[in-house]
Every structure is written in structure tokens, then in C-alpha cells.
């Protein structure tokens, strides 16, 4: 544990940010898994809604720097491709 006041504050803020980042990343992963599950069940309406939600979560994570923007774009593209194959 640090003794310097600014270092103590840094430890506190780091812990808070780590918790926020972990929660947001977890929410993103959950949204993507729900979308993939809905696509796997071939439930078109639920899949569309969950893909929209997953896209939103991926964009949020990319904006905050939790994942790279190209990784978010790749995952969104793959989800869109899967949902389009359901419609075809």
C-alpha cells in the first residue's frame, strides 16, 4: 500500500475504473452471447433485437477503449452477416 497521498488516490481511482471496465466488458460479452444464441435458435425477431443491443454495447466498449474499434467492427459485421443469413 502506498504512503504518498497522490499514490493512495491513484490506487482508489484505479480500483473504481477497473470495476467499471469489468462491468461494461461483461455486459458487452453477455449481449453478444445473447445475440448469438438467438441466431442459433433461429428466432428472427429476438435475434434482430438482440443484435441491435449487442451493436450498441460493442460501440460503447470501443468508444471507452475496452476493445479496439476494429474488433468491435468485426464482431458487428459477423453478427450482421449471421442475421442476414437467417432472413435469406
Question: For cell 438467438, what's the residue?
Answer: 38
pLDDT in tens, 2-27: 999 999 999 999 999 999 999 999 99
pLDDT in tens, 23-33: 999 999 999 99
Q: Which residues contact 61 (CB under 8 A, 6 or more apart)?
A: 24, 25, 28, 67, 72
- Structural domains of the chain ordered from first start: 5-87 (1.20.58.110)
- Average pLDDT of the segment spanning 66-84: 96
Q: Which residues contact 57 (CB under 8 A, 6 or more apart)?
A: 27, 28, 31, 32
Amino acid at each position: 500500500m502506498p504512503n504518498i497521498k497522490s499514490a493512495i488516490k491513484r490506487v482508489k481511482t484505479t480500483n473504481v475504473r477497473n470495476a467499471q471496465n469489468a462491468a461494461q466488458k461483461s455486459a458487452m460479452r453477455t449481449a453478444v452471447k445473447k445475440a448469438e444464441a438467438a441466431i442459433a435458435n433461429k428466432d428472427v425477431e429476438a435475434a434482430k433485437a438482440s443484435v441491435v443491443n449487442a451493436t450498441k454495447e460493442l460501440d460503447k466498449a470501443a468508444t471507452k477503449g475496452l476493445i479496439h474499434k476494429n474488433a468491435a467492427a468485426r464482431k458487428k459485421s459477423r453478427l450482421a452477416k449471421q442475421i442476414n443469413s437467417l432472413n435469406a
